[in-house]
Amino acid sequence: MTPIRVALVDDDAMVRTALSMILGGDPGICVVAQAPDGREGLRVIAEHSPDVVLMDIRMPRLDGLSATEELVRNGSASKVIVLTTFDADDDVMRALQRGADGFLLKDTPPDRLIEAVRLVAAGQSILSPSVTSQVLESVRGAARPGADPSRSVARDRLATLTGREHEVARAVGAGWSNAQISGELFLSVATVKAHVGRILDKLDADNRVQVAIIVHQADLDD
C-alpha cells in the first residue's frame, strides 16, 4: 500500500522533529517535506504534493490560516490539519471556515495524531475532542435570535437535500464516521461515501466539518 505523504509546516524546529519522528514511525505514513513558515510551506506543498499537511497557525511571513486559504483557493488536493498549541474559539472557526480539514492541539497523543492523519487522508475531517464543544458553542451563539439569520439560511441549504441525504448529513453532524453511518442507516460504506459527496456539492462545503456546522446551525433546538 502506498504510504500517506505528509508535509510539516511549523516554525518550531523541535516540533517538526517530534512530529516527523511520531509519523515516521508508522509504516503507512511518510514525511516528504518540512517548512518553517507558511510561505515556504506553500512552496514545498506545490513541489511535493503531499496527501496531508500539518499546519501551524502562528508563523512568520505567512500564518497557517492564510496559507490554508491560499491552498484551497488554488485548488490544492492536499488536506490540511491545523495543529496548534492554542484552542481559541476564533482560531478554530477561522481554520474551518478557510477550508481546513481538521484542527488538533499539539498535545494530541501520538496514536491519535496518526489516526487523524489516516482519517483526513481518507476524506474525513477531525477535531480534537477538547475543541468540538467550542465549535458547537460558537455555532449556538451565532444562531441565537437577534444574532443573524444563520439558522434559517442553514435550513434553506439543507432543504436542497433528499430525505436520505438529510439523514446522512445529520449523522455527519453527530460526528459519525462512514462506517458508523453505514451500520446505523443500513447502507453500504460505498453508498454512504456517495451520499456524502453529493451533500458536500449541494451545500457547497469543503469538508465534513463544514457540513456539521450547517447541520447544527439548522437544528439546534430540535
List, for residues 159-182, the tens digit of each pLDDT value. Answer: 999 999 999 998 887 767 788 889
pLDDT at position 87 is 58
With H, G, I as helix, E, B as strand and everything else as coil, classify residue 110.
Answer: helix
For 100, the grid coordinates are: 481546513
pLDDT at position 132 is 54
- The burial class, CB within 10 Å (0-12 / 13-18 / 19+), for 104 is buried
For 119, the grid coordinates are: 482519517
Residues 50-71: what's their mean pLDDT?
93
Does residue 139 sit within a domain? no
pLDDT at position 108 is 85
Say whether both 192 and 101 belong to one domain: no
Say whether both 85 and 150 belong to one domain: no
Say whether both 181 and 97 belong to one domain: no
Say whether both 34 and 60 belong to one domain: yes
For 109, the grid coordinates are: 497523543
DSSP 4-70: EEEEEE-S-HHHHHHHHHHHHTSTTEEEEEEESSHHHHHHHHHHH--SEEEE-SS-SSS-HHHHHHH
Say whether both 188 and 129 belong to one domain: no
Say whether both 152 and 129 belong to one domain: no
State pLDDT tens for residues 102-146: 888 888 889 989 988 998 898 877 766 555 555 555 554 544 444
Say whether both 109 and 15 belong to one domain: yes
Say whether both 160 and 98 belong to one domain: no
pLDDT at position 147 is 43
Assess whether pLDDT exceeds 90 at residue 32.
yes
Phi and psi of 55, rounded to 5°? -120, 120
Say whether both 96 and 162 belong to one domain: no
pLDDT at position 134 is 55
Residues 10-25: what's their mean pLDDT?
94
Assess whether pLDDT exceeds 70 at residue 20.
yes
Say whether both 47 and 88 belong to one domain: yes
- Which residue range is the domain that position 161 belongs to? 144-218
Rounded to two decimals, what is the model's pTM? Answer: 0.68
DSSP 125-146: -EE-HHHHHHHHHHHHHHHSTT
Confidence of residue 21 (pLDDT cuts 50, 70, 90): very high
State pLDDT tens for residues 81-99: 988 776 555 667 677 777 7
Say whether both 169 and 121 belong to one domain: no
Say whether both 161 and 70 belong to one domain: no
The number of distinct structural domains making up the chain is 2
Q: What's the whole-number average pLDDT of the chain?
A: 84
